[in-house]
Chains A and B, each alone.
Chain A
Amino acid sequence: MFRFRFAKFASLASFGLMLAPLPALAAPDAETAFIFNSLSFLVHGFIVMLMAAGFCMLEVGLVRSKNATVQSTKNIGLYSIAGLMYWLCGYNLMYMDVSGYIGTLMPWSPADASITEAGYTGDGTDYAASSDWFFQMVFVAAAASIVSGAVAERVKLTTFLVFSGILTGIIYPIQGSWTWGGGWLSEMGFSDFAGSTIVHSVGGWAALTGAIIIGARKGKYTADGGIRPMPGSNLPLATIGTFVLWFGWFGFNGGSQLAMGSAADVAAIANIFVNTNIAAAAGVVVAIFATQILYGKIDLTMALNGALGGLVAITAEPLAPTPLLAAFIGGVGALLVVITVPLLDKFRIDDVVGAIPVHLVAGIWGTLAVCISGGASFGVQLTGIIAIGVFVSVTSAVVWYVLKAIMGLRPSEEDEVSGLDLSECGLESYPDFTRQS
């Protein structure tokens, strides 16, 4: 116990030394670095956790009120399932003794070689083992929630939750092991700082296969080729959700520095925050201009998607770009989103919230844009994008088809029209609007 208190005092003292105007700064000792690295994972991690709330608000706001309960249930359900699956098998499948293509199938345990009863040993990693698990876990949850928005309003709740379990426990960890787990893609030099491909496009591919296999909402596309918009029920909620996601992204990208134990690390995190914000802001502004020019009016939902598209795009490399390059990357991401949203409708792929343009298309762009700041070669980035794309699409499609055979993907037509809240949950979100209390 005494050693812990002494250690805390020592690290505070050395922190104070770093602030004092000395001509030469002492590098922090290993335990101080350990503390700050772990702190980075934990704080950035719980900031990312709030993205679960952000996704929930965004999706609920963009679906019709008769489906708001189910959408909320999907979000809290998938976040929880992701957290459990990643403990039960996901983390070790992604990180433990990765053979090149896959890790080890067993539950994760919080055993940490760095801390014994005697105190800090310096024998383990230079961060608390549990802090890394926690940080990686919230990323998995983000990937799963991408699917939830795209297939909203016509997928069965239970089926979706089962899919989320398989995505977070098996599909995501295996492709994640290829890069972050030290597998074959990382050996090739594939560069994806915080997950434009590994998190966002993975969610995007799973969402795309889901949207195609499940089919569109009833009445969305008419027999004569027409498109019927189904406006969201709560745009202010969707806007607040986007702000919360934007906030969460500082944790998402900042924490992906994976260290905060030196001045260089902290300066890097600061630059990451700056680039992340600029990319999102550029995304909003480009979307505003683009919709004003294309449609004669500024479309709020596109502005929201534009912010997220910019954020996804910068996620592959938020550190190296100059602010100007970050703005360019974010802006192009948003432009791709604005173009892709109506394009999906042309192909009669019903994506309720724009998850596929934002996470898949902008994710691919962001991964390729790493080449602009010289972080990787185009060929390697493309290899990674295609390999992960094929893997996730094929495995997701298989899972969707198996679930279709076992459980069914869609509710009955009658249930879909009357609203999933009543048929799946027996619970309306806004009961006072239509009947006396």
Chain B
Amino acid sequence: MMKYIIAIVQPGRMEDIQRALSEIGISGMTVSEVQGYGRQKGKTEIYRGAEYTIDFMPKIKVELAVESKLAAKVTDAIKDVCNTGRIGDGKIFTLDLSEAMRIRTGEVGQAAL
């Protein structure tokens, strides 16, 4: 009964997300810098007279494992922080998590979260 939440959002949201999640009791997450695009079109730029298109925009990916009953709260919190009403705000995916283990102690299950 654990969920794994992946949120792909605009860069610069990291600290806001961190603050919002710590307010609901989440104490850990993993963040990576990625590139992506969806409906948000890229930009056309000019370099020394030649046009080129940048499709992939920088994003950040936030990942965390939570108890199932917290999952909805987490996704709502992330959505509230990241929603600007514009295309490019991002997406949140919730996956079922079958097992988790704390490496230091060997604890498994919800005790590992």
Identify the A interface with B (CB < 8 A).
219, 228, 417-418, 422, 426-427, 434-435
Contacts and interface: CB of A to CB of B under 8 A. Distances in A.
Given A435-B35, A435-B56, A426 B46 contact: yes
Contacts of B28: none
Nearest to A425: B45
B47 A427 contact: yes
A417 B35 contact: no
Given A434-B35, A435-B35, A435-B56, A417 B12 contact: yes
Interface residues of B, number: 13
Contacts of B12: 219, 417
A434 B58 CA distance: 8
A427 B11 CA distance: 19
B43 interface: yes
A427 B35 contact: no
CB-based closest 7 A-B pairs: A426-B45, A417-B12, A426-B46, A435-B56, A434-B58, A435-B35, A434-B35
A427 B15 CA distance: 27
B58 A427 contact: no
A38 B45 CA distance: 47
22 contacts: A219-B12, A219-B15, A228-B15, A417-B10, A417-B11, A417-B12, A418-B11, A418-B58, A422-B43, A422-B45, A426-B43, A426-B45, A426-B46, A426-B47, A427-B45, A427-B47, A434-B33, A434-B35, A434-B58, A435-B35, A435-B54, A435-B56
Contacts of B10: 417
**Chief secondary structure at chain A's binding surface:** loop
Nearest to B48: A427
A229 to B, nearest CB: 12
Nearest to A416: B12
Contacts of B35: 434-435
Interface string B47-68: 1000000101010000000000
A203 B45 CA distance: 34
Contacts of A426: 43, 45-47
Contacts of A435: 35, 54, 56
B42 to A, nearest CB: 11
A156 to B, nearest CB: 18
Given A427-B45, A435-B35, 19 more contacts: A219-B12, A219-B15, A228-B15, A417-B10, A417-B11, A417-B12, A418-B11, A418-B58, A422-B43, A422-B45, A426-B43, A426-B45, A426-B46, A426-B47, A427-B47, A434-B35, A434-B58, A435-B54, A435-B56
B19 to A, nearest CB: 10
Contacts of A434: 33, 35, 58
B48 to A, nearest CB: 9
Contacts of B33: 434
Contacts of B54: 435
Contacts of A417: 10-12
A427 B51 CA distance: 12
Interface string B78-105: 0000000000000000000000000000
Interface string B19-55: 0000000000000010100000001011100000010
A76 B15 CA distance: 35
A219 B15 CA distance: 10
A172 to B, nearest CB: 34
B72 to A, nearest CB: 28
A417 B15 CA distance: 13
A98 B43 CA distance: 53
A431 to B, nearest CB: 9
B47 to A, nearest CB: 7
A427 B43 CA distance: 12
Contacts of A228: 15
B95 to A, nearest CB: 27
A417 B11 CA distance: 8
A418 B59 CA distance: 10
B20 to A, nearest CB: 14
Contacts of B43: 422, 426
